Copies of this chain bind each other. A is one copy, B any other.
């Protein structure tokens, strides 16, 4: 009953196999090997465009280094108040961009809107030196609330980004889950929707430590090799990162993993909807579910071996908040989540519901 994080799973068997397969023999270091080149080509095939691809160790590195290419002195990145880059990366974006500000904006269920961006531009407008310069929009797909932007929502953000000369960055730590949730292709969800740079995450979906910065707008990539190395993020034995992606992409393994995780999340959602005492906090997509449980139910789940995080509700609108005696929890499914884990969790939280329900 592991719902704490999709980072708690190890790597999938197929990723491990690829790692073993590519371990033999000598290969040039620092990305000069053939496999690294093949992975770039693989990305180009998957995204149906001539993108530039750089592998790094962590999602935080992917995000912060991406943003460093998009921001200038006094730079500002518009993002959601609760965006990972703003609250969960220990200031890495600020540090690796040499001081750009992650400007938090309001938005229901983790999503930015053109109105929010317009509001941000009132606070950090173009051309006023004191306020710094507005440089980019960063959105998370899937969001930190488990929701996913529709193509229409992405395009609306891309439109204001283009109008306002803001670069558009996507934090795709859960890219595959979002993509499957909205039924789009990789190309549609990125460059066709106006995304300039993507942090493409594989770690949460089956790899050990495989993240990639993908530049659809190659202008931003011109000095990225130096940025990556300067931050200590150029692997010497790069092929081991490439090997993970090789296993990840082969035979649609990445899609299978994300499909499974999303399915488990939906199983959870269905169970919560059927519960008399618990409920979903808001309709999430992807592999993250936010639920409101009676505190006693949460306790029962923990006693039954359930592992999950209680989630802060400060700042949420009233209708998303737990009531008296309730708590808000986050439940994350991964490629390793089993249906019986989900069912056991549901059984545990519903344990004290009256038996007449069944009758």
Contacts and interface: CB of A to CB of B under 8 A. Distances in A.
A233 B57 contact: yes
A73 interface: yes
Contacts of A57: 57-58, 209, 232-233, 235
Contact of A99 (B28, B209, B230): B230
Contacts of A92: 99, 229-232
Interface in A132-151: 132-133
A263 B79 CA distance: 43
Contact of A20 (B16, B133, B226): B16
A100 B93 CA distance: 10
Interface in A32-69: 56-62, 64-65, 68
Interface residues of A, number: 81
B233 A58 contact: yes
A111 interface: no
B88 A74 contact: no
A295 interface: no
Nearest to A13: B23
A256 to B, nearest CB: 18
B89 A229 contact: yes
Interface string A324-342: 0000000000001000000
Interface string A299-329: 0000000010000101000000000000000
| Copies of this subunit | 4
A10 B28 contact: no
A57 B88 CA distance: 20
A234 B65 contact: no
B209 A237 contact: yes
Interface in A1-36: 2, 4-5, 7-11, 16, 19-20, 22-30
22 contacts: A7-B30, A10-B23, A10-B239, A11-B23, A16-B20, A26-B336, A30-B130, A57-B232, A58-B234, A60-B234, A73-B90, A73-B95, A74-B91, A90-B130, A90-B226, A92-B229, A92-B230, A92-B231, A94-B100, A96-B232, A130-B229, A208-B240
A321 B18 CA distance: 44
A73 to B, nearest CB: 4
Given A61-B233, A122-B314, 11 more contacts: A7-B30, A7-B236, A8-B29, A57-B209, A58-B234, A74-B229, A88-B131, A101-B101, A129-B226, A133-B226, A204-B236
Contact of A91 (B19, B132, B235, B307): B132
Contacts of A223: 72-73, 133
Contacts of A72: 223, 226
Candidate in A19, A23, A129, A227 with the most chain B CB atoms within 10 angstroms: A129
A237 B204 CA distance: 9
A248 to B, nearest CB: 14
Contacts of A61: 231-233
A90 B65 contact: no
